[in-house]
Amino acid sequence: MNKFTPAKPAGARSVDEITGSRRLRRMRKADWSRRLVQENRLTVDDLIWPIFIIDGENRKEMIPAMPGVYRMSVDLAVKEAERAAKLGIPALATFPNVEMGLRDQTGAHILERDNIINRATRAIKAAVPEIGIITDVALDPFTSHGHDGILRDGIIVNDETVAQVAAAAVLQAAAGSDIIAPSDMMDGRIGAIRDALDDNGFHDVAIMSYATKFASAFYGPYREAIGTQGLLKGDKKTYYIDHANSDEAVREAEQDLAEGADMLMVKPGLPYLDIIRRLKDEFRVPTFAYQVSGEYSMIKAASANGWIDGEKAMLESLLAFKRAGCDGILTYFAPEVAEMLKG
């Protein structure tokens, strides 16, 4: 068979003529040159590790939808906090799986001084004072219906929820929380939390707003982790942002900053890199992404099936957040990636 020789019409330009000799591959030619021009880097300082807390002692439960992630009793969470601090992870974010008997229509248990979240904060702060603690004040782990607000006649009532969330934030600060991170998306909660913290002398407790939390299918495994998946009826579209919207996300972030948020968060993460970039460009404040449970589990599942290289996909996804403008990432991969970065 004759080899096919593509026709080169007379007068065709050479590649150097086409590119003007600007060859971008020049700096990609070797590992050393790629390292030299690398624009963004992931470090352990970028990581926030979300952990799940349960009652009891020496208890560790698998979460089937999140391979490698566990619910832990407070004593084991303290050990994990020690490990995280040794790895250099700056902060933990704690989420409770509250006993069913303690959940009710209004999520009143969030107002118990000694609920599991506050006990975990106290224990971790006592043992590992050098690690930052971020607590969520949303009601969903505490309500019998799994919604983030107080439910009356089929409506999530905004203002009553805000008052309860602000009161809970004060208890969390009193327990030692460094950053209050409300994830409920009620209107006015940032300002109400800031006022409540200041009125109680917690001027140094910061607020990381889940400013743009989208109504998303990617939270599925988390709902198994905190035990709300069987409880939740309907959806959260009356308070989370429609995932079709981007200008609305900017307005939410602007509002939360005006109310006193110190930091912004975008959630979920990877499908929302455009939002991260918009917020960073627009406001230039510390901006975080939450790489949520579904994002974690997709990488783990595809990797377990041999369809992708899990480690590489993990690192690529985390670096993508940095490129998009994030100052840090809440990720269930935190200890795994910290070990890798250290090694």
Ligand X SMILES: NCC(=O)CCC(=O)O
* Token representation of residue 324: 């998009």
Residues engaged in binding ligand X (CB under 6 A): 95, 136, 138, 183, 219, 222, 292-294
Please identify which residue in the block is written with the tokens 């934030």. 169
Active site residue 213: yes
> Helix, strand, coil shares of the chain as percentages rounded to 5?
45, 15, 40
Beta strands in the chain (DSSP E): 47-54, 60-62, 70-73, 91-96, 132-135, 150-152, 155-157, 179-180, 206-213, 263-267, 287-291, 328-331
Distance of alpha carbon 280 from alpha carbon 82, whole angstroms: 32
- We find the least distance from the C-beta atom of residue 193 to Mg ion, in angstroms, to be 11
Instruction: Rank residues 78 and 138 by Cβ distance to ligand X and give the closer one.
Output: 138
Instruction: Rank residues 106 and 228 by Cβ distance to ligand X and give the closer one.
Output: 228
- We find the least distance from the C-beta atom of residue 182 to ligand X, in angstroms, to be 9
Please identify which residue in the block is written with the tokens 């912004």. 264
* List 213, 236, 280, 322, catalytic entry: 213
Q: Which does 337 bind (CB under 5 to 8 A by kind): ligand X, Mg ion, none?
A: none
Instruction: Rank residues 220 and 260 by Cβ distance to Mg ion and give the closer one.
Output: 260
Angle, helices 310-324 vs 273-283, to 10°: value is 30
* Token representation of residue 202: 């917690």
Which residues is 54 bridged to in the sheet? 73
Please identify which residue in the block is written with the tokens 């109310």. 259
Instruction: Rank residues 95 and 288 by Cβ distance to ligand X and give the closer one.
Output: 95
Instruction: Rank residues 227 and 294 by Cβ distance to ligand X and give the closer one.
Output: 294
- We find the least distance from the C-beta atom of residue 239 to ligand X, in angstroms, to be 12
- We find the least distance from the C-beta atom of residue 292 to ligand X, in angstroms, to be 3
- We find the least distance from the C-beta atom of residue 45 to Mg ion, in angstroms, to be 28
* Token representation of residue 264: 């912004």
Distance of alpha carbon 56 from alpha carbon 62, whole angstroms: 15
- Residues from 216 through 255 that contact Mg ion (CB under 5 A): 252
Instruction: Rank residues 190 and 225 by Cβ distance to Mg ion and give the closer one.
Output: 190
* Token representation of residue 209: 């707003």
Distance of alpha carbon 135 from alpha carbon 210, whole angstroms: 12
- We find the least distance from the C-beta atom of residue 248 to ligand X, in angstroms, to be 19
Q: Which does 136 bind (CB under 5 to 8 A by kind): Mg ion, ligand X, none?
A: ligand X
Q: Which does 208 bind (CB under 5 to 8 A by kind): ligand X, Mg ion, none?
A: none
Active site residue 300: no
Distance of alpha carbon 325 from alpha carbon 204, whole angstroms: 26
C-beta separation of 184 from 208 below 8 A: no
* List 125, 236, 267, 322, catalytic entry: 267
82 is in an annotated binding site: no
Please identify which residue in the block is written with the tokens 């910290």. 338
Which of 139, 292, 133, 157 has its CA nearest to residue 212?
292
Q: Which residues bind Mg ion (CB under 5 A)?
A: 252
The annotated binding site for Mg(2+) is made up of: 252
Question: Which residues form the catalytic set?
Answer: 213, 267
The annotated binding site is made up of: 252
